[in-house]
Chains A and B, each alone.
Chain A
Amino acid sequence: MKFRGKWGKSVAFLTVMIFVLGVFAAGCGGGGDTIKIGVNYELSGQVATYGTSCKNGVMLAFDEINKDGGVLGKEIEGLVQDNKSQNREARNVAEKLVSKGVVAVIGPATTGNVQAEEPVLTKSKIPLLATAATAPEVTYDEKNKKVRDYVFRVCIIDPDQSQVVSNYLHDELNLKNGAIMVDKNNDYSVGLGRTFKEFFTDKGGKIVAEEGFIDTDTVFKPQLTSIAAKKPDFIYIPAYYNQVGMVIKQARELDIDIPILGADGWDSPELVSLAGVNNLSQCYFTNHYSVEDPSERIQHFVKAYEEKHGTTPDAFAALGYDAGYLMAEAIKQAGEANPQKIKDAMANIKDFEGVTGKLSFDEKHNPIKEVSIIEMVDGKQKLITKMQPVH
């Protein structure tokens, strides 16, 4: 075949591009007698950090399970796909995973992406295990007052954390005037801020200042200066560590030395290097577990993760790891790799021992877990207490 003129060149270019793509497509075929689990995460785009941590946790769990002989005599095959941190891609990936014959899907990490994926999986009757989507609506349809049958999650929901932290502030630290600062571009942060305000004012506390920022901000001093002018006793900043680290540092630079509190999004070794060791005194956050917890299961996980990825795991990695094992447990209890049976087994999980705590599902498919309160002491996490949220 001979290509002529400009037209021919275009056709040639097109053919080459299609061929290149074809090669990639051919490369991703799988097969064999394995149990296929979809792993749909944000591996590029805005929240790639969180998605990548989750995926690393999930795949670490699968590796360990397969090394121990797999589940029901078969290996688990995690089909990892990237959703670019976009809703449309999350749905697209879910469709792809369904067409590849997965029996369940783990991920994505964030609420919006899970909500975009959910209709596809519910329609195809395939269970979905979300890792870090904390908004109550993820598993429960508020409009129709109906549980989303196929959706489960390993993380605790927003109200649980904000309830525990408001109890701790009010009853233990005895602080009554608070300021809230949330990442307005993030429904996790906004949700925690809103529920915290409800719980704290219900207990008789007062919120004297509310400020917001967005995830691309790097300078928080204007908001912090405004907060300082209202003289609160503490600041509640339920956001992710990459912003919180900078917020705390800049707050201390402005001589704001009141306690600063937050939620599980703080959990990362990077928090210390971002904020600076000394700036983190009087900082507390709620979490699913503590890296410093001496329990064998947690220490095994931290060590295995460090060996494989060279960094200390954050909360996302821990949740991903638990999601991997929980999925295997549900398949084992279902007795066969059948989506319907996995879903039923998942709903009946009782006292599953994960690194992020002992887990059972309530009737809305939310895990009932204890919430740990952690204080930062000399740049190290110190477990202060564990509380059971009241539903």
Chain B
Amino acid sequence: MQKKHLSVLIICLALGALFAIVQVGISNGMISGYWVTNLFLMGINIILAASLNLINGFTGEFSLGHAGFMAVGAYAGGVITTNLGLPFPLAIVVGMLAAAVAGVLVGLPTLRLRGDYLAIATLGFGEIVRVVLMNIDYVGGASGLKDIPDVVNWPIIFVSVVLSLLLIKNFVRSSHGRACLAVRENDLAAQMMGVNITYYKVLAFVVGAALAGLAGVLYAHYYTIIQPKEFSFLLTFDVLVMVMVGGLGSLTGSVVGAVLLTTASAFLQAIPELRMVIYALLLIISAIFRPQGLLGEKEVTLRTFQKLGGVFNATSGSKQTQ
């Protein structure tokens, strides 16, 4: 017990320190606007990757509808603040709710499909959302929703990311999450053990969708303009790749994947001609050499650092004896 309290304390301190350092860095200009943008994008990507991982990694479903859920959240939130002039917190609530409702609507009928069929059906859902948004003049049609209030700042991003990760972590650790894992490993056996598989599948789907909606609201209120074409299936692919590179079924893996690929994309801006070629090669190489992702299903915890420390001590110790 004592040890557990200690690790919680250490994590809280580390997070607090991260928050404070970045906050100070932003306010005195040590971190340039460019890195602030990338940091915010990283935060949004972490939420997207972690929530997609909840669906694809922890329940073993294969969803490609994330761009659609994000679009629903972004537009719902955008309408609240931009068209109706209501406050931002309400936009977050409405955006998440709208995406969750979309999650139920899509999840209930399609979740009895399996594997690639579910993948292509959810991909279809995302495209339908995009086409419908493109045809609604109230939200700007193809030219998009513009002049959305620019309210997203570092505290909002930071708190959203931490709360999302905490929510997913606790969900996975809860009896609900255990049931989801059981469904992933063997849904027939799970059903025989009395797990209501449809309920748990839809539940994970809805939580994942709501968080994608949250990412959408943040996205809309940071970039101040959203257009339907941005939420095409290519965006889902980007997120999927983050999940995959980090490790399917590893929450910390998603964080690593999102941070790594956002950074990669940023650095590659300087070589526009070869940017996507190198990005594509990174994907193929990581799929071939680490098909289970960088972290596999493992999580990075404090124990990992202790272990790494141990390895480091051991090697440095052995050097001394030589």
Closest Cβ–Cβ distance, residue B284 to chain A (whole Å): 14
A187 within 8 A of partner (CB): yes
Distance between Cα atoms of A17 and B307 in the complex (Å): 23
Given known contacts A6-B296, A24-B268, A81-B272, is B34 in contact with A99 (CB within 8 Å)? Answer: yes
Are the CB atoms of A21 and B143 closer together than 8 Å?
no
Contact A87 B225 (CB under 8 A): yes
Whether the Cβ atoms of A137 and B146 lie closer than 8 Å is yes
A10 within 8 A of B: yes
Interface centre among A8, A41, A88 (most CB of B within 10 A): A88
* A82 in contact with B269 given A2-B315, A143-B147, A190-B142 (CB within 8 Å): yes
Which residues on the A side are within 8 Å of B228 (C-beta)? 185
Whether B33 and A88, one on each chain, are in contact in the complex, defined by CB atoms closer than 8 angstroms, is no
Q: A25-B267, A81-B270 are in contact. Are A112 and B225 (CB under 8 A)?
A: yes
* Contact A91/B37 with A13-B289, A119-B224 known, Cβ cut-off 8 Å: yes
Interface size class of B (residues with CB under 8 A): 35 or more
**B143 nearest in chain A by CB position:** A187
Q: Chain A: which residue is nearest B271 at the CB level?
A: A24
A21: chain B residues within 8 A (beta carbon) = 263-264, 267-268
As a 0/1 sequence over residues 162 to 200 of chain A, the CB contacts with chain B under 8 angstroms (1 = contact) are: 000000000000000000000011110011000000000
Output the least CB separation between B228 and chain A (Å). 8
User: In the complex, A214 Cα to B141 Cα: how many Å?
Assistant: 12
Q: What 0/1 readout, one digit per residue, does chain B (92-109) give for beta carbons within 8 Å of chain A?
A: 000000000000000000
A89 to chain B, nearest CB (A): 8
* Contacts A13-B290, A17-B260; A44 near B276 (Cβ below 8 A): yes
Max chain A CB contacts within 10 Å: which of B227, B269, B304? B269
CA distance A1 to B313 in the complex (A): 11
B41 within 8 A of A: yes
A86 interfacial by beta-carbon distance below 8 Å: yes
Does A14 have its Cβ within 8 Å of any Cβ on chain B?
Answer: yes
A58 in the interface (beta carbon within 8 A): no
A185 to B, closest residue via Cβ: B142
A43–B37 Cα distance when bound, in Å, is: 20
Contacting residues, chain B, for A89 (C-beta < 8 A): 265, 269
Question: A85-118 CB contact bits vs B (8 Å, 1 = yes)?
Answer: 0111101110110110000000000011001100
* A residues 103-142 in Cβ contact with B at 8 Å: 111-112, 115-116, 119-120, 124, 135, 137, 141
Which B residues, 129 to 143, have Cβ-Cβ distances below 8 Å to chain A?
A: 134-135, 141-143
A18 to chain B: closest CB distance in Å? 8
> Bound complex: CA of A80 vs CA of B308, how far in Å?
41
A-B contact count (CB 8 A): 129
Within 8 A of A (CB), among B109-168: 134-135, 141-144, 146-147, 150
**A92-B34 in contact (CB<8A):** yes
Q: Are B272 and A115 in contact, CB atoms less than 8 angstroms apart?
A: no
> Is B311 in contact with A87, judged by CB distance below 8 angstroms?
no
Specify the chain A residue showing the minimal Cβ separation from B38: A92
- Size of chain A's interface in residues, with CB distance under 8 A? 54
Contacts A17-B282, A95-B36, A115-B146 given; indicate if A10 touches B269 (C-beta within 8 A). Answer: no
Q: Does B176 contact A (CB under 8 A)?
A: no
Contact B34 A10 (CB under 8 A): no
Q: How far is the CA of A46 from the CA of B32 in the complex (A)?
A: 29
Within 8 Å CB of A190, what residues of B? 141-143
Tell whether, in the assembled complex, residue A95 and residue B267 are in contact, meaning their CB atoms are under 8 Å apart: no
| Contacts of B260-319 to chain A: CB distance below 8 A | 260, 263-273, 275-276, 278, 282, 286, 289-290, 294-296, 298, 304, 307-308, 311, 315
Chain B residue contacts of A185, Cβ below 8 A: 134, 142, 228-229
Q: Is the CB of A44 within 8 A of B272?
A: yes
Q: How far is the CB of B81 from chain A (nearest CB, A)?
A: 14
Is the beta-carbon distance between B275 and A82 smaller than 8 angstroms? yes
Q: Which of these, B134, B144, B275, B282, contacts A112 with CB under 8 Å?
A: B144
A310 at the interface (CB under 8 A from B): no
Given contacts A10-B290, A88-B230, A92-B38, contact A24 B296 (CB under 8 A): no
Minimum C-beta distance from A306 to chain B (A): 21
A71 and B147 CA atoms in complex are apart in Å by 36
B223 at the interface (CB under 8 A from A): yes
* Choice from B34, B143, B219, B229 contacting A135 with Cβ under 8 Å: B143
Tell me whether A99 and B33 are in contact in the complex, defined as CB-CB below 8 angstroms, given that A17-B260, A17-B282, A24-B271 are known contacts. Answer: yes
Are A82 and B142 neighbours in the complex by a CB distance under 8 Å? no
Q: Tell me whether A44 and B134 are in contact (CB under 8 A).
A: no
- Interface residue? A28 (CB, 8 A): yes
Closest to A116 in B: B225
Asked if A67 CB lies within 8 Å of chain B CBs, one says no
Q: Are A43 and B272 in contact (CB under 8 A)?
A: yes
Q: Is B230 a contact partner of A120 (Cβ separation < 8 A)? A: no
Q: Closest approach, in angstroms, between the C-beta of B139 and any C-beta of chain A?
A: 13
Name the contact of A28 in the complex, choosing from B219, B270, B276, B295 (C-beta under 8 A). B270
Residues of A336-361 whose CB lies within 8 A of B: none
Write out the residue numbers on chain B whose beta carbons fall within 8 Å of the beta carbon of A111: 143
Contact B142–A184 (Cβ < 8 Å)? yes
Contact mask B253-264 → A, CB, 8 Å, 1/0? 000100010011
Residue of A nearest to B289 (CB): A13
A111 vs B225: C-alpha distance when bound (angstroms) = 11
Residues of B within 8 A of A4 (CB): 311
Selected from A8, A116, A124, A186, the residue in CB contact (under 8 A) with B142 is A186
B265 / chain A contacts, CB cutoff of 8 Å: 89
What's the least CB distance linking A189 to chain B, in Å? 9
Bound: A1/B311 CA distance, A: 10
Q: Indicate whether A31 reaches chain B with its CB closer than 8 angstroms.
A: no
Please state if A119 and B150 are interface contacts (CB–CB under 8 Å): yes
Residues of chain A within 8 A of B224, CB atoms compared? 116, 119
Point out the residues of chain A lying under 8 angstroms from B311, CB to CB: 4, 8
Ranked 10 nearest A-B pairs via Cβ? A82-B272, A28-B270, A187-B143, A99-B32, A95-B34, A43-B272, A99-B34, A96-B34, A95-B37, A95-B33
Q: Which residues of B contact A (CB under 8 A)?
A: 32-38, 41, 134-135, 141-144, 146-147, 150, 219, 223-230, 256, 260, 263-273, 275-276, 278, 282, 286, 289-290, 294-296, 298, 304, 307-308, 311, 315
Sampled A-B contacts (7; CB under 8 Å): A17-B282, A27-B270, A81-B269, A83-B269, A116-B224, A135-B143, A187-B142
